[in-house]
Amino acid sequence: MPRLSRIYSYFEWITDTSMDALQGVSDDIQLSVRSILTTRWEKIRTVPMLLAAVLDTSLSDQKRVSPSPDQLEEIGAWLDSNYSSTESDNICSELLCFLQKTGSSRDLGTGRLQRN
């Protein structure tokens, strides 16, 4: 069974690759393909899958997900709804440390995980 992190990173790769392959095809078809892929993806993707793709150090730097501010907010909200305040704060703190050490996030100053 594939790892959650691989599913997430490969989906992003497939999306990018399919859009590159459709260069020269009409914009309507490109939008339709992207819409179909996005709709299907939203049905199966989960925050634990996103976390797995962010934290999997066996993925190459090109395939490991570098979370956007929106994704950080989504992770923070998910942690808050699934863990106690103390546990959520601890996990967020550890995640921020990991992201800083690995350079996986471009902008840690924004997003829900930025704790005071």
| 1 belongs to a structural domain | yes
Nearest to 59 by CA among 1, 94, 96, 10: 10
Would you state the pLDDT for residue 113? 59
Q: Structural domain of residue 86, as residue ranges?
A: 66-116
pLDDT at 82: 96
d(CA 37, CA 3): 20
Same domain, residue pair 77 and 105: yes
Q: Mean pLDDT of residues grouped by 10 in the chain (116 residues)? A: 73 78 83 87 88 86 82 92 94 90 63 50
| pTM (two decimals) | 0.71
Same domain, 39 and 81: no
Q: Do the beta carbons of residue 3 and residue 49 sit within 8 Å?
A: no
Q: Kindly state whether residue 53 falls inside one of the protein's structural domains.
A: no
pLDDT at 38: 86
